[in-house]
A and B are shown apart, each in its own frame.
Chain A
Amino acid sequence: MTTRKDLTVGEALRTQGISRRGFLKFCAATASMMALPPSSIPAIAAALEKARRPSVIWLSFQECTGCTESLTRSHAPSIEGLIFNVISLDYHHTLQAASGDAAEEARHTAMKENDGKYIVVVDGSIPVKDGGVYSTIAGMTNLEILKETVAGAAAVIAVGSCAAFGGLPAANPNPTGAVSVSELVKDKPVVNIPGCPPIPVVISGVIAHFLTFGLPELDNLGRPKAFYGTSIHDRCYRRPFYDKGLFAETFDDEGAKKGWCLYKLGCKGPTTYNACATMKWNNGTSFPIEAGHGCIGCSEPQFWDAGGFYKALAEPTGNFTTTAGVAVAAGAALGAASGLLNRNKQKQAGAEHETVTADNLEKEQTS
Chain B
Amino acid sequence: MSHLTDIPVALENLPSTHNVTPLLNEVRHALQALLTTGEATQIDLRSIPLSDRDVAQIQDALGVGEVEIQINALGPSMIKETTFAGVWWVEHRNSSNELTGRYIEITPVPDIVPSAMSDIQDGLERLNRRVE
Let me know if B130 is at the binding interface, CB within 8 A.
Answer: no
- A290-B71 in contact (CB<8A): no
Number of A-B contacts (CB under 8 A): 105
- A284-B15 in contact (CB<8A): no
Tally chain A residues at the interface, Cβ within 8 Å: 41
- A32-B18 in contact (CB<8A): no
Cβ 8 A contact of B94, one of A32, A79, A279, A285: A79
Cβ 8 A contact of B92, one of A18, A28, A77, A82: A28
Cβ 8 A contact of A37, one of B4, B44, B96: B44
CA distance A236 to B49 in the complex (A): 7
- Taken residue by residue from 69 to 104, chain B's Cβ proximity to chain A (1 for < 8 Å, 0 otherwise) reads as 001011001000000000000001011101111010
Nearest-Cβ distance from residue A289 to partner chain B, whole angstroms: 11
- Interface residues of chain B: helix, strand, loop or mixed (majority): loop
Q: Which residues of B contact A (CB under 8 A)?
A: 4, 12, 14-18, 41-44, 46-51, 71, 73-74, 77, 92, 94-96, 98-101, 103, 111-112, 115-116, 118-119
- A29-B100 in contact (CB<8A): yes
- B94-A77 in contact (CB<8A): yes
Let me know if A78 is at the binding interface, CB within 8 A.
Answer: yes
Let me know if A19 is at the binding interface, CB within 8 A.
Answer: yes
- B96-A237 in contact (CB<8A): no
Let me know if A76 is at the binding interface, CB within 8 A.
Answer: yes
- A284-B46 in contact (CB<8A): yes
What would 18 more interface pairs be, CB under 8 Å, given A19-B116, A29-B100, A76-B96? A25-B92, A25-B112, A26-B74, A29-B101, A32-B47, A32-B100, A37-B47, A38-B43, A38-B44, A38-B103, A79-B100, A235-B49, A237-B14, A237-B17, A277-B49, A284-B46, A284-B98, A328-B18
- B119-A19 in contact (CB<8A): yes
Q: Which residues of A contact B (CB under 8 A)?
A: 18-22, 24-26, 28-29, 31-32, 35, 37-39, 41, 75-79, 82, 235-241, 258-259, 277-279, 282-285, 290, 328
Task: Give the chain A neighbours of B92 by CB distance below 8 A.
Answer: 25, 28-29
- A278-B46 in contact (CB<8A): yes
Task: List 17 interface pairs A-B (beta carbons < 8 Å), by A numbering.
Answer: A19-B116, A19-B119, A21-B71, A21-B73, A24-B112, A25-B71, A25-B73, A28-B92, A32-B100, A75-B96, A75-B98, A78-B96, A238-B15, A239-B49, A240-B18, A259-B12, A284-B46
What 4 A-B pairs come out closest when comparing CB atoms?
A: A20-B116, A38-B42, A22-B73, A21-B73
Nearest-Cβ distance from residue B109 to partner chain A, whole angstroms: 13
Cβ 8 A contact of B96, one of A20, A77, A240: A77
